[in-house]
Structure 1
Amino acid sequence: MAILLQTEAVERARLIAGISYTVDLDLTLGDTEFGSRTVVRFSCSEPGASTFIDLKAVSVESITLNGNDIHPSAISDGRLTLTQLQHANELSVTARMAYTRDGQGLHRAVDPADEKAYVYGMSFLDAAPQIFPCFDQPDLKAAYDLTVTAPQDWVVAGNSAAKQTSPGRWEFETSKPLATYFFTICAGPYETVRDEHRGIPLALHARASLGQDLRRHAPQMLDVTKQGLDYFEDLFGIDYPWGEYHQFFVPEFNAGAMENPGCVTFRDQYIFRGSVGRAEIMQRSNTILHEMAHMWFGDLVSMKWWDDLWLNESFAEYMAHRACSAATEFDDAWVDFGISRKNWGYAADRAPSTHPIAGNAADDTDSALTNFDGISYAKGCSALRQLALYVGDDAFVGGVRDYLRDHSYGNATLADFLDAISAHTDVDLDAWSKGWLETAGTDEIAVVVDGDPIGVVEAVRTTPEAHPADRPHMLDIAGFCGGKEVWRTPVFTLGATSGEETPLTGLERPKLLVPNASDLTWTIPVFDDNTLAAMPDELPKVEDPQVRQVVWAGLLNGMALSTVDPQTVLAVFEASFPTEENESLRHWTARLVRRRLGYFLPDAERQEATERIAVAATVALGAADAERVVTPGRLLAATSSDEGLLRRWVAAEDLPDAFAGDLDVRWTALTRLAQLGRADDAAIDEFAAQDRTMAGEQNALRAKAVRPTPEAKEWAWTQLESNAALSNYEALAIAETIFVAPSSELVRPHVERYFRVLPKLADRLGEFASQKIAAAAFPVGVTEQATSDAAQEALRSGRMTANVRRAIVDGTAELDEALASLQRFGR
């Protein structure tokens, strides 16, 4: 299919205006296709001109433009050419479209728990033409009149209010102006929980087999929804603009969620079916608020072109954490942001594929998607947080209100946003924008002290050599002894390398020196040797969770940059995990250390490291109260080598009470047994028979692929390479464990196969899914120079989409970081 160039979009927007769509979808035509009848009305500024509309159909029954028939052969490469346009035009298209299994377009999934089918629309980024013909670019907004025919027992919802006019027939109110990438329709025998808040109808939906879990979680999700609506309406000074507010938890969703106006879609793993910890509830709550923030910033006011996609996501990321912290029970949301989202962003910002937050020329839709990453989310959020500090919160909020009011139901640019902020402050934002938004890379900030007792404290900033920048930082630095804060001082750093000296005379030299102690800015904290040596003893005693989070940021990023020994990271984890009280820090350090530490250690030390992590999990589990056993319990199930314990847990024996009825922790234990070579196909199939759900099927694939035998790895590769029936989630499940092995020897022969097979998946599973699968399967565990060389050769000579290429570039960067660490610290 043709990729839309920005130059083509500009020209089409110059010609076309006044668009409206009348769309009629028939979802009763079978399991593979649906009917799409569309009338598009639009004006043309130059009668007689030509343009094109985007259409990706299986077959086309008829096309008429202004009463004249057009032969379907006029469609080429996903585009229908429109010639001899009049001032007012009417295009009518009747077509059949394909349901997908890759999470884009109109995705259809069958729940094996009850064989019920569910569909949902995902039009982002360029998938709307897989549902109906449209001028598919963000600045050609339009109103929609939608009708849908569906099976009579189905729930149907979309971007505006709908009513069932006859059995299986649904009519929607005319929508407010929408960009095409926001169009959605969700339909199926969904379970629904309804509520209302200040006149806004609210609804939560999930698959019928998740109905019990939906009802269990609904009160908390509805509370957060109401708190968010109140907070954002008050902050922005604009009432919620989209009428009803539906939240659908849908199967096999590629992202966390999608901000379709009035009808948000989420991955249905957020309807936790087993035990769940506070960190996961916070993550879901934050996602709910992130998508809600988009209802104003992104939906009400949309970008003109994809090069400003970062602003949508950075803003929603910032506002979600701000609202979560201020308006919900999760007042430690910024701690969660620092340990989870920022570490994702830091990794993206030090990779070869790094890019500025803004100013990235997206010449086409394909290149736009490659910058949809931790820089656009986490780093952009941090930049906006700095902007609010830099100009003052009143000026920031005043500018946001003006921006939303002045561009409602339209499109705007970064320049429009900065102009709105500038109107409320005398601060020059040009220099700020150049430093923060238009340069790549992450500064490092260290603390230097002079004298003992201290005479002077200085924050020293170093910019990346490859990406010099002069960006100001507003932050603080702090010192700790025995876990107690002995001093803290604000610092404003300027200049390329150094900040201001801050006199703090007569104070003792602390054992821990922590730059950016409140985590107010985007920087990697650098610790001196004394601080690193003291961390295993000192960090567990520090009372402030935000400081503990900043320390972990410095440790994990220092390990990636070869400035911190991986054994130091392991030692700090062993000392701090059993006593960590903040659930976000527990949850995310367990995930990050378990996932990344092994690659930075020689093969011979990896098993011992896993055993030490399991011991820390055992100690933490033994000391945890009933509400805090989830994270250490799951970590123990994933790392223990105690076959007896794992078998008892698989059999639901001796499990902590919090895991009663939890199939997922039992799957984790079974997968660990399979990884140890103690569970065969028969054992996996026997357990899968108890869990005939989508999650059960995916867990079974994951467990079979992780087995440490040549036959198991060959089976896994055959599935990825040849099984066209795999959904996006099933392929991802296999990819996640295909290179997990007790030694590199077992999987080394498949490194070449990765670079041959994975790029081809984009032809079958689309851009979103194939990028995730390529990232999950990247052979970083074969931590050898030959793997890096093979990756570089594939990047030089292989054919791959831009997003698969990005996944391989980033995977290679992580591999090269591990190789550098092994060279420096390997024993």
Structure 2
Amino acid sequence: MRSLTLAEARDRAELITVQSYAVELDLDRGDQVFGSVSGITFTCGSPGADSWVDVRARSVEEITLNGRRLDTAAIRDGRLTLPGLAAENHLVVRATMAYSHDGQGLHRATDPADRRDYVYGHLFLDAAPTVYACFDQPDLKAPYDVTVRAPRDWVVLGNGAASEVAPGQWRLASTKPLATYFVTVCAGPYVSVRDEHDGIPLGLHARASLREPLERHAAELFEVTRRSFDYFHELFGIRYPFDEYHQVFVPEFNAGAMENPGCVTLRDQYLFRGAATRDELLSRANTVSHEMSHMWFGDLVTMRWWDDLWLNESFAEYMSHRCLVDATDYTDAWVDSSIVRKVWGYGAERSPSTHPVAGVEALDAQSALQNFDGISYAKGAAVLRQLISFVGDDAFVAGVRFYLSETAYGNGTLADFLGAIERASGRDLGAWSAAWLLTAGRDTIAVEMEPGPEVEGRAGVGAAHLTRTPPAAQPADRPHALDVAGWTDGAELVRLEVTVTQDRVALPGLDGGPRPAVLVPNAADLTWARVQLDRTTLAALPAQLAHVPDAQARAVVWSSLIDGVHVAEVSPLTFLDVFEATWTAEANASILARMALYAEHRIVAHFLPREAQPAALARLARSARDLLGQADEGTTRSLAAARLFAGTTDDETLLRSWAAGSGLPHGLEDDGDFRWIVVRNLAARGLIDATGVDGYRAKDDTLQGGLNALMCRAALPDAEAKAWAWEQLTGRHGRSNYEMVHLARGLWMSPDDALVADYVERFFTDVPAMSGWVGEDALSRVVLAAFPKVVSEETDALSSAALRREDLTPGVRRSLVDADAELREALASRAAFAADFQASVGQV
């Protein structure tokens, strides 16, 4: 489907001003299609000119422009030509649209728990024309009047307050001006919990089968919502600019959440069916606050074109963490950011697909989506923290208020935002912006120390310098405001605040003092950089890291280790050495849980050769067993230990007992999600068959249960199971976006490469071809999940050949570039540390 270009968008915006939309949706036509009537009132700045409106329908029944009928066959490639426009125009398009199953457009899902259907709209980035005819670009905002016909037992929610005016007939209140991609309707037999805060009606909604976790988590969700409202009202000085505030937990959602004004949609995995670790609750709270901050930055003020999408996401990423720290009990939110969000962003920065935070002109809408990644979120947020260090927090907040008030209900640009900050601060941001926003890459920060005389029997420091090394391919003069801190046996020996404006800066605060056992540049994680630990610190980590009392610094150390593994400077076995020596003593929930996941699913599964993986998994299982034995029951520590042990142990007797519900750790007796971790381990080891998996599926007849069952069946280590999984993944079976991802994840779980070797070459032909029936956003995620996990030169050669093809869609190409980069990282690591891996084989 043709993607809107920047030039076309500019031309259309100069010509067209949209005054209002009236949209009628008929959701009572069965489970395949729905009716859509779009009434658009707009003006044309050059009467007599032609333009077009976007519509991608199953069929179009009638089109009228200013009372005259247009030929329904005039739609070409999703565009309806509008000839001979008047100064004032009214267009009506009556169409039949198709529900989607890939998370884009109007998605319809069936809950196997009760066989009832649920619908929600997700129109980001350019899916609005699959729901209603519109001028689909972010700078043609307009108010909406929406009416919905739905089955009589359904609830309808949307951007405006919904009221049922007759059985099955719903009217949504008129909205403020909205960009097309923010429009949503959620409809189905949703259950609800309602509240009110500061005059704003609040609602939480979910599938009927999730009533229990919805009600169990409602108090926590409302508390974060209320505190976020209060914080943003005070910080921005502008009241919440829309109507009611609903948060709808929807099935099979492609992202974490979407900031539709007045009706935020979130993935319903956030309603944890079983036990949840504190970091999972923190992540959910961060998402709630993140989406709310968008009500101002993104919804009230929207970027003019997609190349400034970072303005939305970087700002919300920063503000949500700031809000959690200042206004909620999640005061360690920046630690979580370091070990989750920045690790994700650093991965994006390492890839050949890296790009500047801003200033990359997206020539069309779909190409903009390729830069919607960890750089847009995590790096952008880190850059905003550096901007605050540069201009001061008071000036930053004042500038944000200028920007929001002056462009309210309209569209803004990077120049508008920086101009507002410059006015508030009196600082010229040209050079700063060029270095931080308009140049890709990240500097490497390290500390060099010359030996000095002993101090109280310890090695001393003669002279110390902090070095800043810009990447050779993306040189820039980035100023850094950061700190350097050091510890020995848990005692903080030094903490220096440093402003780095040169590539080599003296650290006189270290000169003549004892050398800390662990020295951490950027210990408070204030800047965006690769932290390179010195050799002495790296060697001391197994004995010393657990004693460092600063969780933020420990997170920076772990992030540095991850970076080092990915660039083949730190052995994966060194990572596991530090993990085994320190993990059981870790007190921070985010570090504890996330490093367990990273160790199991990235370090072992990706960087270790197959023959070294059993011994490494045994090490992880040993750590998990030790922590499970010492952690208090029902705590995050106990749950993280149980999950890691369930996924890594080869104790068949225990696994079968836990799968049967016997002898489970406290708090996990009725936890279906935990049982699937156990079943996945059993399946991957060939200790159950497809019939056994189906038996566990029968005990958990839910959407999540079905997804886990697909993954476990695909993980079975036999040729028949792999063939079935591949056919289900790549065939036209109407599989949802989530089902395809879970099939792909299970497929590559294999005790050896030979079992899945046939699917390596097939991936590069069969999966890209799915662009014919799978949406771009969903397929991009499938490509990442389905990319071959056989780390070999042959896979590398096939991947390189695929990237030379000219028929790949932008989303598929971007995902292939990133997956190929990760493959090359694994190959480089395996080559660099081959002798270490060989020595580790057989060591348990």
TM-score, scaled relative to structure 1:
0.99
Q: Please give the per-residue CA displacement for 1:747-803, whole angstroms capped at 9, x wherever unaligned.
A: 122110111111122222201111111101212x31111111110101112622111
Is 2:286 the partner of 1:260?
A: no
- The one-letter amino acid paired with 1:568 is T
| Cα distance, 1:679 vs structure 2 | 1.0
Q: Please give the per-residue CA displacement for 1:54-75, whole angstroms capped at 9, x wherever unaligned.
A: 0011111110101111011111
Of the three residues 728, 731, 735, the one matched with 2:740 is 731
Name 1:686's counterpart in structure 2.
695
Name 1:465's counterpart in structure 2.
472
Of the three residues 711, 715, 720, the one matched with 1:706 is 715
Q: Tell me the secondary structure at the aligned position of residue 31 of structure 1.
A: coil
Is 2:309 the partner of 1:309?
A: yes
Name 2:158's counterpart in structure 1.
158
Name 2:429's counterpart in structure 1.
429
8 Å CA contact 2:494, 2:509 repeated in 1: no
Q: Please give the per-residue CA displacement for 1:440-485, whole angstroms capped at 9, x wherever unaligned.
A: 1121111112333324332111111111111010000011111221
Name 1:821's counterpart in structure 2.
829
2 CA distance for matches of 1:789 and 1:498? 41
Name 1:596's counterpart in structure 2.
602
Q: Please give the per-residue CA displacement for 1:623-669, whole angstroms capped at 9, x wherever unaligned.
A: 11121211111111111111111111101111111212101111110
- Greater Cα shift, 190-199 or 748-757: 748-757
8 Å CA contact 1:442, 1:464 repeated in 2: yes
Structure 2 residue runs of 5 or longer lacking an equivalent are 453-459, 836-844
- Greater Cα shift, 681-690 or 790-799: 790-799
Is 2:755 the partner of 1:749?
A: no
8 Å CA contact 2:351, 2:818 repeated in 1: yes
Of the three residues 661, 676, 679, the one matched with 2:685 is 676
Name 1:767's counterpart in structure 2.
776
Name 1:100's counterpart in structure 2.
100
Calculate the aligned-residue CA RMSD, in Å. 1.0
Is 2:813 the partner of 1:805?
A: yes
8 Å CA contact 1:310, 1:358 repeated in 2: yes
Is 2:525 the partner of 1:519?
A: yes
Name 2:842's counterpart in structure 1.
none
2 CA distance for matches of 1:424 and 1:108? 47
Q: Tell me the secondary structure at the aligned position of residue 475 of structure 2.
A: coil
Is 2:784 the partner of 1:778?
A: no
2 CA distance for matches of 1:439 and 1:335? 26
Is 2:608 the partner of 1:631?
A: no
Q: Tell me the secondary structure at the aligned position of residue 484 of structure 2.
A: strand
Of the three residues 540, 543, 548, the one matched with 2:549 is 543
Q: Hey, which bits of structure 1, 4+ residues long, moved more than 6 A?
A: none
| Cα distance, 1:498 vs structure 2 | 2.0
2 CA distance for matches of 1:426 and 1:107? 48
2 CA distance for matches of 1:30 and 1:103? 19
| Cα distance, 1:126 vs structure 2 | 0.4
2 CA distance for matches of 1:553 and 1:16? 49
8 Å CA contact 2:194, 2:204 repeated in 1: yes
8 Å CA contact 1:737, 1:777 repeated in 2: no
8 Å CA contact 2:98, 2:130 repeated in 1: yes
- Greater Cα shift, 184-193 or 422-431: 422-431
Equivalences for residues 418-567 of structure 1 within 5 A: 418-452=418-452, 453-495=460-502, 497-567=503-573
| Cα distance, 1:426 vs structure 2 | 3.1
Equivalences for residues 143-154 of structure 1 within 5 A: 143-154=143-154
Q: Tell me the secondary structure at the aligned position of residue 117 of structure 1.
A: strand
Q: Please give the per-residue CA displacement for 1:495-531, whole angstroms capped at 9, x wherever unaligned.
A: 3x32344343431011111100000001111111111
Name 1:180's counterpart in structure 2.
180
- The one-letter amino acid paired with 1:688 is R
Q: Tell me the secondary structure at the aligned position of residue 141 of structure 2.
A: coil
Q: Tell me the secondary structure at the aligned position of residue 657 of structure 1.
A: coil
1 CA distance for matches of 2:710 and 2:183? 33
1 CA distance for matches of 2:809 and 2:658? 43
Name 1:406's counterpart in structure 2.
406
Name 2:358's counterpart in structure 1.
358
- The one-letter amino acid paired with 1:406 is E
8 Å CA contact 1:455, 1:503 repeated in 2: no
2 CA distance for matches of 1:503 and 1:648? 57
8 Å CA contact 1:446, 1:526 repeated in 2: yes
- The one-letter amino acid paired with 2:189 is P
Equivalences for residues 166-245 of structure 1 within 5 A: 166-245=166-245
Name 2:332's counterpart in structure 1.
332
Name 2:347's counterpart in structure 1.
347
- The one-letter amino acid paired with 1:813 is A
Name 2:457's counterpart in structure 1.
none
- Greater Cα shift, 197-206 or 593-602: 593-602
Alignment: residue pair count: 825
- The one-letter amino acid paired with 2:486 is G
8 Å CA contact 2:463, 2:512 repeated in 1: no
Of the three residues 709, 724, 729, the one matched with 1:715 is 724
8 Å CA contact 1:492, 1:500 repeated in 2: no
- The one-letter amino acid paired with 1:796 is R
1 CA distance for matches of 2:632 and 2:732? 45
8 Å CA contact 1:350, 1:442 repeated in 2: no
8 Å CA contact 2:496, 2:509 repeated in 1: no
8 Å CA contact 1:398, 1:421 repeated in 2: yes
1 CA distance for matches of 2:174 and 2:608? 59
Is 2:303 the partner of 1:297?
A: no
Q: Tell me the secondary structure at the aligned position of residue 23 of structure 2.
A: strand
Structure 1 residue runs of 5 or longer lacking an equivalent are none
- The one-letter amino acid paired with 1:600 is F
8 Å CA contact 1:249, 1:266 repeated in 2: yes
| Cα distance, 1:591 vs structure 2 | 1.2
- The one-letter amino acid paired with 1:589 is M
2 CA distance for matches of 1:652 and 1:385? 48
| Cα distance, 1:603 vs structure 2 | 2.4
Is 2:396 the partner of 1:387?
A: no
1 CA distance for matches of 2:658 and 2:568? 38
Equivalences for residues 40-79 of structure 1 within 5 A: 40-79=40-79
- The one-letter amino acid paired with 2:80 is L
1 CA distance for matches of 2:510 and 2:62? 79
- The one-letter amino acid paired with 2:492 is E
1 CA distance for matches of 2:573 and 2:510? 34
2 CA distance for matches of 1:782 and 1:671? 20
Is 2:609 the partner of 1:609?
A: no
Of the three residues 640, 644, 649, the one matched with 2:658 is 649
| Cα distance, 1:383 vs structure 2 | 0.3
- The one-letter amino acid paired with 2:646 is A
- The one-letter amino acid paired with 2:449 is V
2 CA distance for matches of 1:680 and 1:212? 32
Of the three residues 788, 792, 801, the one matched with 2:800 is 792
1 CA distance for matches of 2:177 and 2:792? 53
Is 2:29 the partner of 1:29?
A: yes
Q: Tell me the secondary structure at the aligned position of residue 201 of structure 2.
A: strand
TM-score, scaled relative to structure 2:
0.97
2 CA distance for matches of 1:24 and 1:636? 52
- The one-letter amino acid paired with 1:81 is T
2 CA distance for matches of 1:712 and 1:183? 42
8 Å CA contact 1:493, 1:500 repeated in 2: no
Q: Tell me the secondary structure at the aligned position of residue 587 of structure 2.
A: coil
Q: Please give the per-residue CA displacement for 1:591-614, whole angstroms capped at 9, x wherever unaligned.
A: 112122122223221111111111
